[in-house]
Chain A
Amino acid sequence: MSQETEFIPYIVEPREDTGLYNAKLGIWLFLASEIMLFGSLFSAYILLRVGSFTWPVQSDIQNVPIGAINSVVLLSSSIFFIRAYVALKADDIVKYKKFMYLVIGFAFLFLILKGFEYYQHFSHGEFPKTSVFLALYFLMTGLHALHIIGGILVNSYYAGPGLYLREKNKQWFINRVEVAGLYWHFVDLVWIFLFSTLYLL
C-alpha cells in the first residue's frame, strides 16, 4: 500500500496550505452534499406544513419517549466512537475494538427501536399514504436509517476485516477511522434535527 501513498500525495500527511489530508476534505465535501440532500427534505417539510390547512399534532402521533431514547442512543454511540478513535491513536487495539463494537451495537439498537416505532405506526394503520406528515416522517427517517446502515457497514469493516489495512499503513488507517467518525457524527447531527422537527414541533 505504500506504493499508493507514494503515487498520490497527502493521503497520510496533510498538505501544508490547506492543512488537510485528501480524505478529510473529501468527507467534508460529501457531508456538504448530504446537508443539501436532507435540507431539501426539510425545505419540503416547511413548505408543506406552512401551506396546509390542517396539520396533525405531531407529538400525539409520534412515540416521543422512544424518539428521545434514540437520541441518547445515537449520541452515546458518537461518544463511543470518539473513545475508539482515541484508543486507536494510542495503539490500544483491544480498547479500539471494544468501543467500536459498542458503536455498532448502539447503532443496531437505534434501528431496532426505529423498527419498533414503524411497526407501531403500521399496526395503527399509519402509512405514508395516510397523510403528508406521515409520508415525510417515513421518508426522512427512512433515508436517515439507510445512512445508519451504511455507517454500520463501514464501522464493522474497520472494526473487523478491515484491520489488516492497519498493518499496511498505520497512519492511513487512523485517517480512515477519523473520516468514518466524521460521517458518523454527521448522522447523529441529522437525527437531532429530525427528532426536533418530526416529533417535537
Chain B
Amino acid sequence: MEHNSNTSEFKRDLLIYFGIIALTGMIVGISHLKLKTLGIFLIVPIACAEAGVLAYYFMHLMTKKRTVHLLLLLTLITFITLLFWPAWDVAYSPRTPSEFTTF
C-alpha cells in the first residue's frame, strides 16, 4: 500500500486520472445523444467502471487484505439487495400504470 515517489507509480496514477476524465467525457457525450433506456445501460456501467478504477488504484483495493475484501463483498451484496427491490417491486406490482415513464 505504498506509493513510490518515483515516476512509474506516478505515471500510472496520471494515466488513470486522464482515463477517468476521458470516460467522464464519454458519458457526457452519450448523455447528449439523449438515448433514453439505451443511454442508461451505457452510462451506468461506464460510471461503475470509473468508480471501480478509482477504488482499485487510488484506494489501493488491490493490496487490501482478505478482511476488507470480504467486508466490501458483504456490503455490495446488501447494497444490491437494497437497490433492486424497487425495480422488482415496480415490475411486479399490480398498481403500476400501464404506461411507463418516458425517459
Q: A residues near B, CB below 8 A?
A: 18-20, 24-25, 28-29, 32, 35-36, 39-40, 42-44, 46-47, 49-55, 57, 59, 64, 68, 71-72, 75-76, 78-79, 82-83, 85-87, 89-90, 178, 182, 185-186, 188-189, 192-193, 195-197, 199-201
Select from chain A the residue with minimum beta-carbon distance to B50: A192
**Interface contact tally, CB-CB below 8 A:** 143
Structural contact, A201 and B39, CB atoms closer than 8 A: yes
- Picked from B2, B28, B59, the residue with its CB within 8 Å of the CB of A200 is B28
A43 touching B83 in the complex, CB below 8 Å, given contacts A52-B101, A82-B13, A196-B43? yes
**Across the two chains, which residue of chain B brings its CB closest to A67?**
B28
Q: Indicate whether B94 reaches chain A with its CB closer than 8 angstroms.
A: no
Closest chain-B Cβ to A114's Cβ sits at a distance in Å of: 17
Given the known inter-chain contacts A18-B67, A59-B32, please indicate yes or no for A47 contacting B3, CB distance below 8 A: no
Q: Which residues of B contact A (CB under 8 A)?
A: 1-5, 9-10, 13-14, 17, 20-21, 24-25, 27-28, 30-32, 34, 39-40, 43-44, 46-47, 50-51, 54-55, 58-59, 64-68, 71-72, 74-76, 78-79, 82-83, 85-87, 89-90, 96-97, 99-103
* Complex: chain B residue closest to A191, CB-CB: B51
Please determine whether B21 and A200 come into contact, CB atoms closer than 8 angstroms. Answer: no
Determine the main DSSP class of B at the interface with A: helix
Q: Say yes or no: B13 contacts A32, CB within 8 Å.
A: no
Nearest residue (CB) in A for B16 is: A79
Once the chains are docked, how many angstroms separate the CA of A72 from the CA of B76? 26
CB of B102 within 8 A of CB of A54, answer: yes
21 intermolecular pairs with C-beta atoms under 8 Å apart: A19-B64, A19-B65, A39-B82, A42-B83, A46-B83, A51-B90, A54-B101, A55-B103, A64-B28, A75-B17, A76-B17, A89-B2, A189-B59, A192-B20, A192-B47, A192-B51, A193-B51, A195-B47, A200-B28, A200-B30, A201-B39
Q: A40 to B82, Cβ gap below 8 A?
A: yes
Docked complex Cα distance between A18 and B78 (Å): 23
Known A19-B65, A25-B67, A51-B90; further 8 A-B contacts with Cβ < 8 A: A39-B79, A78-B58, A86-B10, A89-B3, A192-B51, A196-B43, A197-B47, A201-B31
